[in-house]
Structure 1
Amino acid sequence: MPQIDPFSDRTRSFDSPCTRHFPITPQDDVDLAIRPRVLKALSEGTVSIRDAAGTVLSYPVTTGELLQFSAVGVEATGTTATVVGWL
């Protein structure tokens, strides 16, 4: 049976739920191939994220935590948590 999407005729916006997800492999000074709307922590630890200005900050995260941040990169140095990107 085909899936029914009652919202298929609606335009998606930034406050709409995400509909795609992808794994992130932290790499120093490498831009993510796809820039996520949100990061989700799959494990507890620290995630070091780089913004559009090149600034890197590290955040402690808990399992399941959402970072409402569109990271340009996730750095290997300083990252101990496993994160995925949401679009």
Structure 2
Amino acid sequence: MYSDLPTTLTAPAREAAAITPSNETDLAAMSRAVYVGSTGDLAVTMAGGQPTVFRNVPAGAILPIRARRVLSDGTTAGDIVALW
């Protein structure tokens, strides 16, 4: 019923993909949010190019961030999923 509606900034994510952190490879698409399944730090490159580390992210957290890359250096969190 709602699958044909356009995706807006306030709409829930329509796609998801597991992330393998990498210092060299961007995500397939800029994230709308990032799910963290296992507690730890999440090091990312934000949409604007700024490197940022989110410390002590709890398991099950959904961070509403526009990330272009999840970095392997500095990321200790696990079971990470990009949401689009």
SS at match of 2:44: strand
TM-score (ref. length: structure 2): 0.86
Answer with 28-37 or 40-49: which moved more.
28-37
TM-score (ref. length: structure 1): 0.83
One-letter amino acid matched to 2:12: P
Q: How does 1:5-44 map to 2 (within 5 A)?
A: 6-44=1-39
Between the two proteins, the alignment pairs up a number of residues equal to 82
Q: Which one of the candidate residues 77, 80, 85 is aligned to 2:82?
A: 85
One-letter amino acid matched to 1:68: P
For 2:4 and 2:75, the matched residues in 1 are separated by: 40
Root mean square deviation, CA, Å: 1.5
Q: Which runs of 5+ in 1 are unaligned?
A: 1-5
Q: Which runs of 5+ in 2 are unaligned?
A: none
Based on CA coordinates, which of the two structures has the bigger radius of gyration?
A: 1
State the shift of 1:33 in Å. Answer: 1.8
Aligned to 1:71: 67
More strand by share: 2
